[in-house]
Amino acid sequence: MRSDLFSPQNAEAQMQQPGMKLQNSKMLKIGLSGEVMVRQGAMVAYQGNIQFQGQGAGGIGKFVKQQLTGEGVPLMKCTGAGDLFLADLASDIHLLDLEGPHDGLTINGKNVLAFEPSLSYDIRRVQGAGMLSNAGLFNCVFSGQGRIAVTTKGTPVVLSVDQPTYADPQAAVCWSTSLQTGFHSAEQFGLGTFMGRTTGEGFTMSFSGQGFVVVQPSEEAPGGFVGGTGGGQQAGSAAGNILGNFLGR
């Protein structure tokens, strides 16, 4: 049989050792020898002897937080030996390596595709998020040493935060945990209305300090929270009242 489909660029990516490798810009290959944590529903193919076990939000504590905040990563633990292929609606995939206890990443839960079990994560309130904001209250924070695969809708820009930096909270994918964040009404920046017409920009997120912010060329549909499935301001207020000091600030 002959076809351009069988060109070398579509051949299975070769791996010298277990781990994560991009099969292409929209598909991740994991050479599995042990276990890996994967977003539920992301598996598109696998070869070998691999078992899948649902993990909810990654433990009872995280499950409670997920229910209250609308944020979190519905996970499955993949164990065994073989090749695992993952994708998420043809989104672009990027690999990041966290390199130690002082290296952390705050990320929109919708953008987490897979991560190595050596990493730890929690659901925390985003610094500076007011209860009247309808986005950006809670996100996932990863720390430790290991690799994580994240997705973006389109080719992102990585902004180096060496001056005051602002982004639409629905387009901000992830950022360094070392950064200080804040939320501001778009009216403060003159973005609320132009000649009596709304711009559609309700809130702007600010970043300061030293680090980076990854911004995708697409805005997630507004919900109760960034990356979450919450029910808006009312759900946000209820979650905030219930959680109290349960979540780190």
In a domain, 169, yes or no: yes
Q: What is the CATH number of the domain that holds 63?
A: 3.60.160.10
Task: Check residue 202 and give its pLDDT.
Answer: 65
> What DSSP letter does each residue of 140-178 carry, written as one string?
EEEEEEEEEEEEESS--EEEEESS-EEE-TTTEEEEETT
Are 189 and 196 in contact by the 8 Å Cβ rule? The answer is no
Distance set, CA 229 to CA 136, 161, 239 (Å): 12, 29, 13
In a domain, 11, yes or no: no
CA angle (197, 198, 200) in 5-degree steps:
150
Q: Does an H or E element contain 48, and which?
A: strand 43-56
How far is the C-alpha of 15 from the C-alpha of 7, rounded, in Å?
A: 19
In a domain, 237, yes or no: no
Q: Does an H or E element contain 34, and which?
A: strand 27-39
**Using N-to-C axis directions, what is the helix angle for 233-243 and 60-69, rounded to 10°?**
140
In a domain, 10, yes or no: no
In a domain, 179, yes or no: yes
Task: Check residue 187 and give its pLDDT.
Answer: 61
Overall number of domains in the chain: 1
Task: Check residue 217 and give its pLDDT.
Answer: 94
At residue 138, what is the residue type?
F
In a domain, 38, yes or no: yes
Task: Check residue 108 and give its pLDDT.
Answer: 87
At residue 206, what is the residue type?
S
At residue 23, what is the residue type?
Q
Q: What tokens does 13 get?
A: 């990516």
Are 80 and 49 in contact by the 8 Å Cβ rule? The answer is yes
In a domain, 140, yes or no: yes
Q: Does an H or E element contain 209, and which?
A: none
Task: Check residue 32 and give its pLDDT.
Answer: 97
State which residues form the domain around 37. Answer: 17-189+202-215
pTM of the predicted model, to two decimals? Answer: 0.77
Task: Check residue 248 and give its pLDDT.
Answer: 42
Task: Check residue 55 and give its pLDDT.
Answer: 73
In a domain, 234, yes or no: no
Residue position matching structure tokens 């996932």: 140
Q: Average pLDDT of each block of 10 consecutive residues along the chain (249 residues)?
A: 90 91 97 94 96 68 44 81 97 95 88 93 71 56 95 96 90 94 70 46 83 90 40 39 40
